[in-house]
Structure 1
Amino acid sequence: MAKVVAVVSGGMDSATLLYHMLDAGHACWAISVDYGQRHVKELDFARQLCEGVNVPHLIADLSAINPIFGNNSLSGREMEVPEGHYAEESMKQTVVPNRNMILLSVAIAWAASNQCAAVAYGAHSGDHAIYPDCRPAFADAMDAAARLCDWNPIELWRPFVHMDKGEIAKRGVQLGVPYEKTWTCYKGLEKHCGKCGACVERKEAFAANGLIDPTDYAD
């Protein structure tokens, strides 16, 4: 059993990651980051998720750095959220420059201050085409840096990096993850829009394995 900081965004992947770590017997702390994203519904869901499994949860407020991310549909307010499948060129509008390096650096700092053995995050193979900071090469480089940044070497765990979202959903159902209490949609409306890339991928993840999708979609 190890002491682990899990990066929990409030979405499906990070929720499954948290349950996966707990199932393995690890002592977990969870961290979420407010980087001035388009909406904070995901942070509310992350908090509720952690409360449900009695995991200490910290929201790191980095909202002041929002202007450095430029014009994109996730941290900006002027660009519309694109709809359609992740494979579309328009999904590159959802890239927040260097986001995972920033989030992971903050998580690694918290892990170091608590003498934790590792930081875990939920990058998966479906993200590779669009998000460079979800690719194995990036994770390997961050793992190498984390092992050098403190007197206590910290590992970067990414158990889903070779899995797709459907496989993650299947694992989450096995673990009893309350997916109805997770938030994926980029738009942050009352319900999941059902049309943005994140919602489309969420729908496909459940359908790929014949799983019941508990999500309340507006469409």
Structure 2
Amino acid sequence: MKKQATSAARSASGASSPLTSTPLTPRGAKTRASLVKSARALFEKNGYLPTSVAEITERASVAHGTFYTYFDSKEDIFAVVADELQSDFQAMLGAEPELPPGSSISERVERTNRAYLRAYEQLARTVAVLEQVSTFNARLAEIRRTSRRFWLQRNTEAIARWKQHGIIDPEIIPEYAASMLGSMIDRSAYVWIVLGEPYEFDDAVRQLTRVYCNALRIDCHYDA
């Protein structure tokens, strides 16, 4: 009997089997991680639709039936890959060098934009596949929206603080501003990195930051 689909993908290491709540043995966890790693490599190389369960198990050097010990379907394992992608983005954001105390708002915006664009460059192949499948698969589209909500919430909270402190136009609605400005950054990264439109990294970061700050009428440190 099929298990119920979860609303959030499980981590690639997997503390338990998806078919039961029993914790995986070290060998089981290693097998599952190998399947996820193989699936991600194939999705990045060939795309979602051409990749088959048979190819995933062959690359992971496990029997075809072993796949179904851990996952119901190709969609199921891709959900885990998509969850990994979100974790990778967050980890790379956290790895960006911290700013000194007293840094300006525009400097903090620049740091986030730089981290996001740097992470996007490294994760572009997986991002491209997720963008593709989210157009025709409802479950994976929800995972894409969940990923977006992480950034949207961060942005909304920051803009709301600036509004509360009288830094930006009081007529700005934080949720809308966060969505529009976040879409600008996300779509720009997609066009530059996935579609291959020419760009220069430092110029792109500066322009994204300047447009973001200009939209909210925040002083930009470039003009100091």
Q: Do both share a fold (TM > 0.5)?
A: no
Task: Name the TM-score, length of structure 2 as normaliser.
Answer: 0.28
Q: RCO (CA 8 Å, sep 6+): is it higher in 1 or 2?
A: 1
